[in-house]
Amino acid sequence: MTRFLAATIVALAASAAAYAPAVAQQATPAPQSTPTLMDRQYDGQTHVTVAPYIWAPDVGGSFQYSIPTLRTRPHKILESSISVPPSQYLPKLNSAAMLFADVRKGDLDVFGDVIYVNASMSSSLNATFAGPLGKVQIPIALDTNAHLSTAVWEVAAGYTVAHGHNADASLFAGLRAFPVNLTLDYNATIVGRRRVIAPSGTITNSDYLSDLIVGFRGRAFFGDGHWYVPYYADYGTSINTIQNESWEAYSGFGYAFNHGQTLLVAYRALNYNSFEPNVHTQRLTMAGPLIGYSFGL
């Protein structure tokens, strides 16, 4: 009997030893899949991203200038509309810089955008001034040399309201500033018989546009996880003495490399309107293609 019990115990032990590896193999959890590029952005670490870019918009708008007149006459207001494609102003740039930066930790992020442009250009302008009671029309021809210096900058803080392995959406609020400094030197080649304006002079217009902005932005990856679609939209309202409204939006497509750098091609639009009648700038629109390259620091 003792021998039978011993043999039984030995047999059960051998059976348990043979079964143990199979049980251990089943109990071991399956390895997790590789984190996506979106997962890496929300891993709780601090991520700093910098993106230099080139934006070449069509520039359009409506402006009004106070033209110096002779001492015995009040200044005249000249209204004009412009539409300038990139082919006209890009060769005349003195300097320019465009940069976007973002700092993210988890669902919180702070980002900023700056555009600096310094350009000089020459043009001719024809207009007609009305004389007393509007009965006399006086033709004016101006040869002008203009110098434009401006820096559009934006800073905002956002919070991610939803994100998954391949998409996210954030709400943000911030400030956008747009100082427009225009210096115009002119020579009047035709001033009519009454010479109502000074034959030459310099006109300087400076408007500082400062808007509180709110909006949303995000990215959606698709396909193999490298191609994505970015989206951005905001609305701004003035917080300084110059009343205006503004909005900005862009979207396109991009490609994210395995090392985290991305290439972006998009279409961007920035619009200012609803100015008061006495402001030099009455309407300003900029819309066109954008290409950028981002990398982490």
Domain ranges of the chain: 35-296
What pLDDT does 96 receive?
Answer: 82
174-200 tens-digit pLDDT: 999 988 776 666 666 555 555 555 666
Q: In the structure, what pLDDT confidence band is assigned to residue 130 with cuts at 50, 70 and 90?
A: low
pTM (two decimals):
0.76
**Paired sense of beta strands 108-130 and 46-55, if any:** unpaired
Better-predicted residue by pLDDT, 153 or 9: 153
pLDDT in tens, 16-41: 445 444 444 444 444 446 888 899 89
Which of the following CATH numbers is that of domain 35-296: 2.40.128.100, 2.30.110.10, 3.30.450.40, 3.20.20.70? 2.40.128.100
User: pLDDT value at position 16?
Assistant: 47
Residues listed for the chain:
297
Strand partners, 133: none
96-105, 141-150, 278-287: range with lowest mean pLDDT: 141-150
Residue 258: what pLDDT? 85
Query: Phi first, then psi: what are they for 2, rounded to 5°?
Result: -65, -40
**Nearest residue to 263 (alpha-carbon basis) of 273, 255, 275:** 255
